[in-house]
Amino acid sequence: MSKLIPSGKTAIYPGTFDPVTYGHVDVAKRAAQLFDRVIICVAVNTLKTPLFSGKERVDLIEEAMKDITNIEVEQFEGLLVDYALKKKASAIVRGLRAVSDFEYEFQMALTNRKLCKDIDTVFLMPHEKYTYLNSTIVREIARFGGDVSEFVPPHVKDKLIHKFRDAKTKDGRK
């Protein structure tokens, strides 16, 4: 029987992760079962203006993944395929939550293939209970004091609370 995904392989799981959610954790864990090594790479030069610095986002993911031995976390900038080649990765992992993700993901996967034909994109579906989740929603709830316990690990929730408390204190001083 031929193997769908060969062993001895490295995959990268890129994203903004601002902040990491249980949905991302779910996808990363699935990837870690399929690949020998998974590098979660935190994009620091996207068009987004993140709430958390690259280092903060890496630290939050590392804590969330601390029990999974074949996952590493790094920051990256530049073209994703260049980074993948540097890391000798054969696949890019992306989560597909709903049909609405498809068009954007399809475009990105084909663009990356055009840029480098040797790297394939592998789509993994997170558990259905996370399909509606994204980082913007989590930030929005936390900003207005809502409870995000169901969406992010406890240390991420604490960091969000501190971040918005600090921002309020700064605003108050203006």
Q: Tell me the catalytic residues.
A: 24, 48, 97, 135
Amino acid of residue 90: S
Sheet order of strands, 10-15 included: 71-76, 37-43, 10-15, 91-95, 120-124
Burial 41-64 (b: 16+ CB within 10 A, else e): bbbbeeeeebbbebebbbebbeeb
CA distance 138 to 150: 10
Give least dist CB 64 to ligand COA, A.
12
Residue nearest to ligand COA (CB): 23
Nearest distance from residue 164's CB to ligand COA, in Å? Answer: 16
Residue type, 133: L
**Are 28 and 13 in contact, with CB atoms under 8 Å apart?**
yes
**Which CB sits closer to ligand COA, 9 or 44?**
44
Least gap, CB of 126 to ligand COA (angstroms): 4
Closest separation in Å from C-beta 59 to ligand COA: 17
Q: Is the dihedral of CA 146, 154, 50, 35 positive or negative?
A: negative
In this structure, what are the phi and psi dihedrals at residue 173, rounded to the nearest 5 degrees? -75, -20
Residues contacting 85, CB < 8 A, separation 6+: 116, 118, 119
Chain residues binding ligand COA by CB under 6 A are 14-16, 18, 21, 23-24, 27, 43, 46, 48, 79-80, 95, 97, 108, 111-112, 126, 130, 133-136
Nearer to ligand COA, 46 or 53 (CB): 46
Query: Is 63 or 101 the residue whose CB approaches ligand COA more closely?
Result: 101
